[in-house]
């Protein structure tokens, strides 16, 4: 297993083997023997830039507002590629987001939606929701990330804090199956209402199955007409 990119405190959530995940291809290049861990890096103080100020101001603001303690609400901090990600405990997400939006030293007024991520090997934390935030006042960027399990895929909705997240939460529910508790109308937005499954999950079948959409039935790839 290659360890050149590993840092102390990194969370290993899976292992990738071979090149592009191909097995039994007869590959003799040597790439088929690659074994690479999939990690979520952790950061330690000082974070650098404005990141330390954001963490300190958030801790102070949560305490002043009578909210959860910073250490209880934030699981860990990741600094990667010049960006800061706060891993938030799901139940404390609305309080953290509201504080980030309202406190004068923070003022993250804009949420650019929510993105789903599926880590099948991250046992008990398979589904992640990622919220990119922007502070127009202070010209800063920040990400919030929340994890949920396949067995209990519930995360609080942020529509009351950031109303423009309405359609973004519906799309993430549609494609990943994350249930945003408190959303006023959590229905599919891209796929038909009777669609089975969530197409952007990594356990969703790719190819080899017929697809039906708006009355048109498309045969699986091995049954399509050949022009060669």
- Structure tokens, 173: 């529910």
**Average pLDDT, whole number, for the chain?**
86
Report pLDDT for 1.
39
Q: Which CATH superfamily is domain 43-205 in?
A: NADH:ubiquinone oxidoreductase Nqo5 subunit (3.30.460.80)
* Sequence-separated (6 or more) residues with CB below 8 Å from residue 59: 70
Query: Comparing 27-31, 139-143, 193-197, which segment has the lowest mean pLDDT?
Result: 27-31
Q: Give yes or no for residue 170 having a pLDDT over 80.
A: yes
For 91-154, the DSSP string reads: GGHHHHHHHHHH-TTT---EE---EEEE-TTSTT--EEEEEEEEETTTTEEEEEEEEE-SSS-E
Sorted by where each begins, the domain ranges of the chain are 1-41, 43-205
Alpha-carbon separation of residue 15 from 23, 36, 83, 132, 197 (angstroms): 14, 6, 24, 27, 25
Q: Give yes or no for residue 28 having a pLDDT over 90.
A: no
pLDDT in tens, 201-218: 988 876 555 556 666 665
User: Which is it for strands 211-213 and 216-218: parallel, antiparallel or unpaired?
Assistant: antiparallel
pLDDT in tens, 33-42: 677 787 777 7
pLDDT in tens, 174-187: 999 999 999 999 99
Look at residues 186, 176, 196, 80 and name the one whose alpha carbon lies nearest to residue 120.
Answer: 176
- Residue 2's pLDDT band, with cuts at 50, 70 and 90, is very low
CA atoms in the 13 A half-sphere facing the CB of 7: 10
- Structure tokens, 140: 């800063």
């Amino acid at each position: 297993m290659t360890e050149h990119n590993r840092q102390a405190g990194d969370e290993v959530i899976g292992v990738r083997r071979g090149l592009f995940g191909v097995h039994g291809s007869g590959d003799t290049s040597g790439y088929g023997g690659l074994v690479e861990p999939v990690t979520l890096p952790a950061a330690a103080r000082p974070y650098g830039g404005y990141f330390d100020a954001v963490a300190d101001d958030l801790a102070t603001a949560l305490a002043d507002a009578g909210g959860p303690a910073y250490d209880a609400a934030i699981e860990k901090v990741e600094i990667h590629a010049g960006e800061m990600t706060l891993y938030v405990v799901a139940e404390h997400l609305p309080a953290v987001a509201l504080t980030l939006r309202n406190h004068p030293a923070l003022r993250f007024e804009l949420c650019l939606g929510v993105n789903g991520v599926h880590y099948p090997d991250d046992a008990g934390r398979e589904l992640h929701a990622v919220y990119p935030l922007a502070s127009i006042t202070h010209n800063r960027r920040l990400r919030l990330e929340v994890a949920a399990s396949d067995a209990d895929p519930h995360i609080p909705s942020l529509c009351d804090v950031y109303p423009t997240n309405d359609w973004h939460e519906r799309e993430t529910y549609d494609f990943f199956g994350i249930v945003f508790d408190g959303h006023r109308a959590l229905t599919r937005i891209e796929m038909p209402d009777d669609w089975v499954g969530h197409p952007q999950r990594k356990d969703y079948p790719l190819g080899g199955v017929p697809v039906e959409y708006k009355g048109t039935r498309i045969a699986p790839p091995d049954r399509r007409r050949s022009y060669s």
